[in-house]
Homo-oligomer: A and B are copies of this chain.
Amino acid sequence: MIKVAVNGYGTIGKRVASAILAQPDMSLIGVSKTSPNYEAYQAQKMGMSLYVTKESAKEFEEAGIKVKGVLEDMIREADVVVDATPNGVGAQYKQIYSSMGKRALFQGGEKANVADVSFSALCNYDEAVDKKFVRVVSCNTTGLLRTLCTLNKMSKITKVRGTIVRRAADPKEVKKGPINSLIPDPASIPSHHAKDVNTVLKDLDIVTMAVIAPTTLMHVHMLDITVSTSVTREDVLSVMKSTPRILLASSKSKVGSTAEIVEVARDMGRNRNDLYELIIFEDSISVKGNEVFLMYAVHQESIVVPENIDAIRAVSGFSDGRKSMEITNTSMGIRTGYLV
């Protein structure tokens, strides 16, 4: 059993913790939290061990939340720490993980140089095997890489031009906007997503542009991918249909928007209506000469969760990436083929 600690119990941390509990080969030492909010109460109710910083212990006690120990106690017990602290904070914790001799995963909000390798399971599982520090790329980059590494198997990609319509805030957030605006983010080109893809696919010619839209459910990407050989729409459909962690939203099912995709997740009984899969709008898959066009939606809260699980195995020395993904997919109910 791989003993895992989750440092940070927010949007990503709580999902990774739930996913760890579902793995046959992992155990959850506990989760750490900095403030005794509703998520801390919920973690306690679910029977997770809570660890806090020394400074916040009293606050938790006053809130009636039982604490198992301080952060360092949790890290000491673990083989691997999943850092799910806010953007940029992970780098500050690296020193602690390192001094305690622990392997650690960081999230995409950290700079790439925080880790030995940036990770996307379908692209470069092998590179992460036995590494000390691995960074799981962000939700948007995970969406891009999952698509590109899948297509790359069919025909070598020579150029990618993409635009990203980003969700403004997560559903739980109450302080972010916009409410009624479109914000180029950044206005400069390329957006950081292209550079982040290059941390994994190092020599790829990729340019991305991004805009924020007032919605909370999912991101949408629109890609124009140039490949080195002539392919057909059927080739693309076929590879997408048979790749795990990718689902197709068919027009037949009348799923034509992010709202309807999330409604399907709710109807499917998914925890927190999470969608670990990339959701490609089937009708959007088009081919013109050597260019493949497509549009897909990315569930920003959960798409990186299975990637974290695989990365835990990789840093622990589990060398069979395909097998790791199979275990992750089975344990989490992650599907292949059509959404509906």
Contacts and interface: CB of A to CB of B under 8 A. Distances in A.
Interface of A: 161, 163, 165, 167, 178, 180-184, 186-190, 207, 209, 211, 213-218, 220, 222, 224, 251, 256-260, 281-284, 286, 288, 291, 293-295, 297
Contacts of A282: 187
B211 A220 contact: yes
Contacts of A288: 207
9 contacts: A161-B224, A178-B257, A181-B215, A184-B281, A184-B284, A187-B282, A187-B283, A207-B288, A213-B214
A188 B220 contact: no
How many copies, total?
Answer: 2
Contact of A165 (B165, B167, B218): B165
A134 B210 CA distance: 36
A175 B288 CA distance: 37
Contact of A215 (B214, B251, B293): B214
B284 A182 contact: no
Nearest to A223: B209
A165 B211 contact: yes
7 smallest A-B Cβ distances: which pairs? A181-B259, A213-B213, A187-B283, A183-B257, A189-B286, A163-B163, A209-B222
B218 A284 contact: no
A222 B183 contact: no
Contacts of A187: 251, 256, 281-284, 295
Nearest to A162: B163
Nearest to A212: B257
Nearest to A249: B187
Given A182-B220, A184-B220, A184-B284, 13 more contacts: A163-B163, A178-B215, A181-B215, A184-B283, A187-B282, A187-B284, A188-B284, A189-B294, A207-B293, A211-B220, A211-B295, A213-B214, A214-B214
Contact of A256 (B184, B216, B220): B184
A220 B214 CA distance: 13
Nearest to A289: B205
Contacts of A163: 163, 209, 222
